[in-house]
Amino acid sequence: MLFWPFSKLGLSGCMFSGISLFFFMHFAVTSGFLVEEKALVLMTNYPLIDGHNDVALQLRILHDNRLSQIDLHNISRVATDINRLRAGHVGGQMYAAYVMCTAQEKDAVRLTLEQVDVIHRMCSEYPEFELVTTSHALRSSKKIACLISVEGGHSIDSSLAALRMFYRLGVRSMALTHTCNTPWAESSSEIYTFYPRDNNSLTHFGKAVVKEMNRLGMMIDLSHSSWDTARAVLQTSQAPVIFSHSSAFTVCDHRRNVPDDLLQALKENKGLIMVNLHSGFVACGAKGNISIAADHFDHIKNVIGAESIGIGGDYDGAAKFPEGLEDVSKYPALIQELLHRNWSEAELAGVLRLNFLRVFEQVEKVRDELKGTLPVEVQIPLSEAANPCRLVLRPPNQVIRSSSVDSSKVVCSGLHLFALSAVLTLHCFYEVVSC
Ligand SMILES: [Zn+2]
């Protein structure tokens, strides 16, 4: 019966099949085109604010931070440059000032300062970039807004004064750990033996770090922290927190990802999980494709709602990405996939930028409410942060000597440095790809 008008017109079955196929193809192409257009319009109106990018690390590794030798519009052997950020409709990017864990107990603070410096230079020497330090400036920027985050608490060398100085240099987020424990917080990774612990995942000093970050208005980033540390922080922080580049543990059971109970706690905190696109975390090591990446978004939305989700691509911190998401120009393909999965434009506007802006504003609001609160003066006990490279300038009667270190005769021995450099060499490659 369905075919009768064609029969009346005298069209053969063969011709009908051809016409059907034409209309089907036309519809498919048109609807695909419409979704593609829709994604680009949406991203023009709501340019992406991405939570994590490691191009600064690559600038150090590949170019020794010599910006004069490269053109940031088009950089080879990396996944991020100005041309591709433009193509990806990126309107804001949190750039990680990251130094390897092997710098802990060594020169992590200097190295981190050098990474903050290169981000400052990158974002001031090119007119397409703009360094921002407030949610208002981020919201109103018409350029590629640069935010600075420190990736790993080892970068402050257990010093709240160092934390405060990083804030003054424009740092607006810090991950409490990278792949190593600090003396005061626990990592999700066990590849290093720094400061082993069975419990006390957030020490008294660790809570002081959280309190001081709340007071300063610096976002607390729980990506890379152990789940126990994350839970302790969620019970301590007055402000919303972020996972700047983590995905869903239920979809890929990697310890860098976030389990459902922690997602629930994050929702209560009104915080944000910015989904990591690295194959290792979305496809558990396989290369994967856009669909498996989108599964993480669907799962987190089902558990805690779209308003708790952002994107933290992790480009240039990881080597392998799903097919179709190889560099920062590919974000529109992800948004197309989510549109195909019936995500609303309002939900995606949130994922792209509004959710992050809301969290940043709330962090600033808590800072404003704490105005008048004095800086935290808690110092880490020497017995908890003892290492041979730490000079202690306290009166002898206040020095607490650990069993292994005589703080009054601090020596950063040649042998010690040799051992550290050997470890650095061994772990260097691993760390570059262990985002
Ligand atoms: Zn990372």
Domain final residue, candidates 330, 353, 369 = 369
184 and 316 share one domain: yes
Q: Is residue 317 part of a domain?
A: yes
Cα of 248 to ligand 1 centre, how many Å?
15
How far away, in angstroms, is 180 Cα from ligand 1 center?
A: 12
Residues ≥6 apart with Cβ < 8 Å to 49: 91, 92, 93, 94, 138, 145, 310, 352, 353, 356, 357
Confidence at 389, pLDDT banded by 50, 70, 90: confident
In a domain, residue 60? The reply is yes
Specify whether 316 is located in the same domain as 402.
Answer: no
Dist CA 242 CA 239 (whole Å): 10
With a CB cutoff of 8 Å and minimum separation 6, the contacts of 220 are: 173, 174, 176, 210, 213, 214, 233, 237, 239, 241, 242
Asked whether residue 292 falls in the same domain as residue 425, the answer is no
User: How many angstroms separate the alpha carbon of residue 23 from the centre of ligand 1?
Assistant: 47
pLDDT digits (tens, 9 = 90+) for 256-274: 999 999 999 999 999 999 9
User: Has 296 been annotated as catalytic?
Assistant: no
Q: How many CA atoms does the CB half-sphere of 391 hold within 13 Å?
A: 4
178: annotated active-site residue: yes
Residues 356 and 403 grouped into a single domain: no
151 is an active site residue:
yes
Counting Cα atoms < 13 Å in the Cβ hemisphere of 119 gives: 30
Is residue 68 domain-resident?
Answer: yes
Shared domain for 284 and 365, answered yes or no, is yes
- In tens, the pLDDT along 138-191 reads 999 999 999 999 999 999 999 999 999 999 999 999 999 999 999 999 999 988
Instruction: Work out the angle at residue 291's Cα, subtended by the Cα atoms of residues 290 and 296, and round it to the nearest 5 degrees.
Output: 100
Same domain, 135 and 263: yes
The yes-or-no answer on residue 245 being catalytic is yes
* Alpha carbon distance 268, 173 (integer Å): 20
Global confidence as pTM: 0.86
State which of 369, 388, 420 marks the end of a domain. Answer: 369
Please give the mean pLDDT across all residues of the chain: 87
> Do 362 and 324 belong together in one domain?
yes
Q: Give the total number of structural domains in the chain.
A: 2
Alpha-carbon distance of 273 to 360, in angstroms, equals 13
81, 105, 221, 245: which is the annotated catalytic residue? 245
Cα 342 to middle of ligand 1, angstroms = 30
Cβ burial of 389 (10 Å; 0-12, 13-18, 19+) is middle
> Do 293 and 356 share a domain, yes or no?
yes
Q: Which of 89, 224, 254, 299 is catalytic?
A: 224
Domain that holds residue 412: 396-433
Establish whether 54 is a catalytic residue: yes
> What CATH number is attached to the domain comprising 199?
3.20.20.140
Residue 388 domain-assigned (yes or no)? no
Helix (H, G, I), strand (E, B) or coil at 206: helix
